[in-house]
Amino acid sequence: MDSAHHLSLIFIELGAVSLGLAIVARIANWMGLSSIPLYLIAGLCFGKGGLVPLDLSSGFTHFGGEIGVLLLLFMLGLEYTGDQLRENLRRGFPSGVVDFVLNFPPGLIAGFILGWSPMAAVLLGGVTYISSSGVIAKVLEELHRLDSPETPSVLAVLVLEDLAMAVYLPIVAVLLVGGDTHTLLVSVGIAMVTVLVVLIVAIRFGRAFSRLVSHDSEEILLLTTFGSVLLVAGLAQRLQVSAAVGAFLVGIAISGPLVERSHRLLAPLRDLFAATFFFFFGLQIDPHSLPKVLPFALVLGAVTALTKVGTGYWAARHSGVDGRGGMRAGAALIARGEFSIVIAGLGAAVEPRIEPLSAAYVLLLAILGPILTRLIK
């Protein structure tokens, strides 16, 4: 009886949340805004310490949110072929360098200004460096800009950032537990080899993979594609590589008529789980932890919003896009999200203040980025 009662509560919770998010999405649509900022604010209102805290099943909500990010990146990958990815990475490497030079130092310097340890400052540098692939992919899809001239430049920066995380996160993890040089080299080596192997498979064997996945039955196609995304993402995560990179590369590997069928079958799932991700993201933030760190988060957010605009503008102009497209690219890159929160979580043991500061910082830019992206046309 207790089990049935608990199950009924889960159904009621999830049903209420889904209907609530539907209302939020209707409001955003009526206002002509992206739904992402409103999902985040809704999570802030109904999470721990919010206006009306809900006792939600966090395990399911978190799991659903993670699937949302994977599907967002998978469907972003569907828009590009392996050859396009290879060319974007080759041409976009200078943009990746500019991105790091402009966006890592502000967090690093801020950490030292706050009197934090060098390790904590390096972690805050990671928080300010990495844009949110999940938020940006959703915004570009909402605004129908996946085929805009500046989008390949944005994509190149995001992919290079995610690949950089494949090196950064293992280094940070080993340093935090006091690992030796041998452990550090092994962890980084495994991550880099994994990325290289998955890139080669996606680029060189994409057509063979598409033939293997393809089937006349939409049921079989849905199960095969969805299962492939989760399997590759899980293996990538296990080998210290971003699961998002794995999902993105599965999308790259799929080509031909299968692209449109995969998009049609998985788009509803993506929208459902993506809404769950942004809502859960807001749930994780305790509003009471924000006021003390808000002034510094505002300053850091303003500085790094400008540096991301500079990154996007330079990347787009370097690819031959006009100035207006450069501004759109810059605005799109402002949003921070899932990776920044992961990095802050790693740093909580060495600097407790990094979590509330990062939460306020990410929340501000996850709201500001989609709004500016929509305004700059």
> What would the pLDDT profile of 146-167 be if each residue is shown by its tens digit?
888 999 889 889 888 877 877 7
Distance CA 341, CA 273 (A): 19
> What would the pLDDT profile of 86-121 be if each residue is shown by its tens digit?
777 777 789 999 999 999 999 999 999 999 999 899
Q: What is the pLDDT of residue 52?
A: 65
Question: Which range is least confidently modeled, 44-58, 108-122, 285-299, 331-345?
Answer: 44-58
Is residue 59 pLDDT above 70, yes or no?
A: no
Q: Tell me the range of 16-25, 55-64, 105-114 where mean pLDDT is highest.
A: 105-114
Q: What is the pLDDT of residue 332?
A: 93
Is residue 5 pLDDT above 70, yes or no?
A: no
pLDDT band of residue 51 (cuts 50, 70, 90) is: low
**Residue-range domains of the chain with CATH:** 2-375 (1.20.1530.20)
Write down the pTM of the prediction: 0.76
Mean pLDDT of the chain: 82
Computed on alpha carbons and rounded to an integer, the radius of gyration of the chain in Å comes to: 20
